Amino acid sequence: MRNICLYILLLQSLWAAAQTNPADSIVRKKYYTQPLKSLITLDGIPSEEAWNTVEWGGDFIQWQPHEGQPPSQPTRFKILYDEKYLYVAYRCYDSAPDSVVRRMGRRDEFPGDWVEINIDSYHDLRTAFSFTLSASGVRSDEFASSDGNNWDASWNPIWFAKTHMDEEGWTAEVKIPLSQLRYGSEPDKVWGMQVTRRYFRKEERSYWQHIPQNSGVWVSRFGELHGLKNIPLHRQVEIAPYVITQADKYKEEPGNPFAKGFDTKLTAGLDGKLAVTNDLILDFTINPDFGQVEADPSQVRIDGFQNFFEERRPFFIESRNIFDYQLTGSEAGGDYDADLLFYSRRIGGSPHGYPSLGNGEHVKYPQNTSILGAAKFSGKTKKGWSIGVLESITQREMATIDHIGERRKELVEPLTSYFVGRLQKDIHSGNTIIGGIFTAVNREKGLNDILHRSAYSGGLDFLQYWRNRTWYLRGNVVFSQVQGSKEAILNTQTAFEHLFQRAGAPEVSVDSNRTSLTGMGGTVRFGKIGGRPGRLGQILRFETGVTFRSPELELNDIGFMLTANEINHFTWVGVHYQKPFFIFRTARLNYNHWARWDFGGQFIYQAFNFNSHATFRNNWQAGTGLTWNTFDISNTALRGTFSMRRPPALAHNVYVNSDSRKKVFVNFNVFNIWGSDHTLKNNEINTTVTYQPVNALQISLSAAYSHYWRRQDQFVDAVQYNNNTRTIVGEVKQNTLRFTGRLSYNITPDLTLQYYGQPYITRPLYDKFAYVSDPLAHKYDARFTVFNPGQISFSNDRYTVDENKDGTPDYSFSKPDFNFVQFRSNMVVRWEYKPGSELYLVWSQGNTPDAASDLDTPLPKSLFNNAFGGNEGRNIFLIKCTYRFVR
């Protein structure tokens, strides 16, 4: 009750501090364009007569570092249009033209000096299309949503640009097809607009329309583009067929007809876009290529939680902001922030089943589920409706088993339909937003004992802004239902995310006759993201909220959920200094705290955190943080046998980044955890060195090492003894070593060579085995009974326990130690030989050797011997060509 009263007082004081946003008193600038009356040659030099029909826009002011002051160098722009294109000309003055930084980079890398235009063609004050052009000619583009709080670099429209250097600085011309924008049918249009310049040498940003840094808004405060009259609606039509030829080379397995050492294949497919209206786009793909240039990072967890990998496949990442539905998304951060209703990596993942093999049998097993086709209908109407519909069908996958020439097939993945529907509505110029989402997974019969027959989830969400979008209240409520056989639902009840079998949990129980589960979840967040004039109100931000997942909530058929049966409270308060002072360009101080309960009413977690971050006047960055975990009871650490008290701990991190503009810059960070009474220790160190010897070449090398140690409470196994469950734990020491190398060579902005390589090793070693005797005891050592040498013995990779010392083994468990080594690399030549049309040359190498028993070799030597020695790896060579037809 005392804490609740403190929260209420805090909220009241913060609410009382809310005043008019400083952006209120700033006049919106207006730029008036004219239709194009003569031809423009796109050469980067705005010298054509057509440009003389409009005035230069200018009068930029600094945004960073000295907000409100004149920029170091002036910038001007002009805008014209015709029935098909929007034309933009830039004049970026520079008193030392030879010093303009013209670094090269891949698309969307924003290297060196650049200039950018943001266009809110919907004029919904929430979303914008961003086009950035560097002095070297590199194009970058993003789709901004949530009033500039979300930037999606996966949006890749077709547009054209050229730059030119002269004695006054540099100039540029940009031509943007109107078909790549979205706008209404009104004859006289008003669009939101912002123009920004990066002056690289001083790491300075200046912009046309002044928007205070601490206002917490962006798109809603743009200036305005006037003069657009009678622009026709353009219905975008794009077709992009592709063809891939691939050769795989790997180690031959004598006697295995499926591993002859060399395979080839030829595939083809089609991607397309069709504008149903000028606002709504239908994306579709047939036999899609869902390969990715950079492999997923190697990752192994021993705590039971699943790994999360970022989506990299173009079809799914484009327009993903519409389908994004986080259950929480808090400023304080936490494991719960990873939970999503839609996690596209579920589509086309590894098959769930694996065939049973007899002696002498070999298997041809599909590594991924093939996607027969997918379609996505998305966009936003002029009336503020955001719509997203996605449907994908994955193929029935069969494993082929061979025994001395006789073959049979077994199902490893049934034919499956994945559906996502998303709808949002802006009200009151985007100050109120309501929405909903629905997902569905339906599978044909097959693998009924492990897979749900159907899985549905949905949710409703809202967002309410006050005080010119500096104060907000947002929340959602979600539901899920999974249906299937008794075996499948039993597996779900006892899975790591639910653990209904856990002793001492009155809120859950296992029911082996159930054929469905229905759950709920939700979040409420209240906060302040902007400030008013005045010292404290301008720099103070905060958020507080609650998020919950009921025990039966299940999202992992199409979403991502780490665990259910939790109620989490979080609070974040930040003080952000955006203006330079003393030795700082910017500085941030943040406070967080968290508390957690399960649905049985058990208080299970409490932690407090303070962290600080600074950018110095020399553009170095540094930060540090301290987290005090005062109370921790884990419902998952023992995999569902009991809840277990874990020791309080103190965590500390520190990082230092040198000036990223330099030819050589370094990132260095350290993370440490110390458990009370010498019960836990985790030490991690990571450093990256990046070298850019010339504008076209960048080389990056990083190394990371971690040492993780738990004294006694690491789960090993659960065995049966005297009709009871014995939970075996032990001391663990896990050492992990990772190296990552990247190289990027840009021959031109449209012709690049990239390399990525990552050798990785992790080795957990267990010792001092015990069984859990009193998992909630306050004294650490009272929670376990350690086996003495007369009770435990080791032979043939198994530990045998004679607990009562009667000479007869009572139970046994496998040796948990292992050594995991993996090496992944890619080399890619990418040539955009025509806007939107690309040629790829790819060499991909993967090696996951059988190194589990190599436990005594020093870690670096084991990594080198196993990752690079022998002939275990698979080499993939492929050529991919796409051609984009645009109307």
Pick the closest to residue 826 from 789, 887, 874 (CA basis). Answer: 874
Amino acid type, 329: G
Mean pLDDT across 502-517 = 96
How many C-beta atoms surround the C-beta of residue 303 within 10 A? 11
- Please provide the DSSP assignment of 589-609 as one string: EEEEEEEEE-TTS-EEEEEEE
State residue 186's pLDDT score: 86
Tokens read off for 176: 């943007």
Tell me how far apart the alpha carbons of residues 223 and 193 are, in angstroms, rounded to a whole number: 5
Strands 75-81 and 34-35, sheet pairing? parallel
Pick the closest to residue 122 from 471, 429, 441, 447 (CA basis). Answer: 429
Task: Give the H/E segment covering residue 14.
Answer: helix 2-17
Tell me how far apart the alpha carbons of residues 791 and 801 are, in angstroms, rounded to a whole number: 5
Tell me how far apart the alpha carbons of residues 101 and 81 are, in angstroms, rounded to a whole number: 30
Strands 204-207 and 61-64, sheet pairing? antiparallel
Task: Give the H/E segment covering residue 119.
Answer: strand 114-120
Tokens read off for 183: 């706008």
Pick the closest to residue 360 from 253, 251, 248 (CA basis). Answer: 253
Contact call for residues 127 and 380 (beta carbons, < 8 A): yes
When the pLDDT of each residue in the chain is averaged and rounded to a whole number, the result is 91
pLDDT at 430 over 80: yes
pLDDT at 209 over 60: yes
Percent of the chain with pLDDT over 90: 77
Mean pLDDT across 841-857 = 92
Q: Tell me: the pLDDT tens digits for 712-729?
A: 999 999 999 998 999 999
Residue 264: Cβ-neighbour burial (10 angstroms; 0-12, 13-18, 19+)? exposed
Pick the closest to residue 39 from 85, 78, 92 (CA basis). Answer: 85
Contact call for residues 569 and 526 (beta carbons, < 8 A): no
The residues pairing with 364 across neighbouring beta strands, listed in sequence order, are: 400
State residue 392's pLDDT score: 95
Tokens read off for 762: 């992790």
Task: Give the H/E segment covering residue 7.
Answer: helix 2-17
- Please provide the DSSP assignment of 310-357 as one string: ----HHHHTTHHHH--BS---SS--GGGG-BS--GGGTT---S-----
Contact call for residues 411 and 401 (beta carbons, < 8 A): no
Mean pLDDT across 586-612 = 97
Pick the closest to residue 730 from 778, 768, 682 (CA basis). Answer: 768
Contact call for residues 61 and 210 (beta carbons, < 8 A): yes
- In this prediction, residue 22 has a pLDDT band, given cuts at 50, 70 and 90, of very low
Contact call for residues 135 and 92 (beta carbons, < 8 A): yes
First to last CA, the chain: 65
SS3 of 772, please?
strand
855-860 CB contacts, 8 Å cutoff, 24+ apart: 855/763, 855/765, 855/817, 855/818, 855/819, 859/735, 859/737, 859/761, 859/763, 860/737
SS3 of 40, please?
coil
Q: For residues 725 and 6, which has the higher predicted lDDT (pLDDT)?
A: 725
Max Cα separation, the chain? 102
Tell me how far apart the alpha carbons of residues 666 and 702 are, in angstroms, rounded to a whole number: 9
Task: Give the H/E segment covering residue 566.
Answer: strand 566-577
Residue 713: Cβ-neighbour burial (10 angstroms; 0-12, 13-18, 19+)? buried
Span of 84-98, 109-123, 440-454, 868-882 with lowest mean pLDDT: 868-882
To the nearest 5 percent, what fractions of the chain are helix, strand and coil? 10, 50, 40
Q: Torsions phi, psi of 559, nearest 5?
A: -115, -165
- In this prediction, residue 20 has a pLDDT band, given cuts at 50, 70 and 90, of very low
Amino acid type, 827: M
Residue 511 C-alpha from the chain's centroid: 36
261-268 CB contacts, 8 Å cutoff, 24+ apart: 267/243, 268/241, 268/242, 268/243, 268/244
Contact call for residues 440 and 419 (beta carbons, < 8 A): yes
**DSSP label of 97:** G
- In this prediction, residue 314 has a pLDDT band, given cuts at 50, 70 and 90, of confident
The residues pairing with 516 across neighbouring beta strands, listed in sequence order, are: 483
- In this prediction, residue 6 has a pLDDT band, given cuts at 50, 70 and 90, of very low
Tell me how far apart the alpha carbons of residues 451 and 485 are, in angstroms, rounded to a whole number: 8
Mean pLDDT across 482-509 = 96
Residue with tokens 């090398």: 701
Pick the closest to residue 414 from 363, 492, 471, 485 (CA basis). Answer: 485
Residue with tokens 């990056």: 700
CATH number of 26-229: 2.60.40.1190
**DSSP label of 55:** P
Note if the bond before 65 is cis, omega within 30 degrees: yes
Strands (E), 488-539: 516-528
The residues pairing with 751 across neighbouring beta strands, listed in sequence order, are: 748, 831
Pick the closest to residue 81 from 195, 191, 221 (CA basis). Answer: 191
Q: Torsions phi, psi of 495, nearest 5?
A: -70, 165
- Please provide the DSSP assignment of 204-241 as one string: EEEESS---GGG--SGGG-EEEEEEESPPP---EEEEE
Span of 7-16, 40-49, 598-607 with lowest mean pLDDT: 7-16
Q: Tell me: the pLDDT tens digits for 71-112?
A: 999 999 999 999 999 999 999 999 999 999 999 988 888 899
Threshold 0.85, pTM exceeds:
yes
Contact call for residues 206 and 113 (beta carbons, < 8 A): no
Q: Tell me: the pLDDT tens digits for 753-794?
A: 999 999 999 999 999 999 999 999 999 999 999 999 999 999
As a residue count, the chain comes to 887
Percent of the chain with pLDDT over 70: 95
State residue 14's pLDDT score: 44
- In this prediction, residue 475 has a pLDDT band, given cuts at 50, 70 and 90, of very high
State residue 17's pLDDT score: 43
Tell me how far apart the alpha carbons of residues 194 and 656 are, in angstroms, rounded to a whole number: 33
Residue 795: Cβ-neighbour burial (10 angstroms; 0-12, 13-18, 19+)? exposed
Mean pLDDT across 858-874 = 87
SS3 of 618, please?
coil
Q: Tell me: the pLDDT tens digits for 648-700?
A: 999 999 999 999 999 999 999 999 999 999 999 999 999 999 999 999 999 99
Tell me how far apart the alpha carbons of residues 752 and 747 are, in angstroms, rounded to a whole number: 6
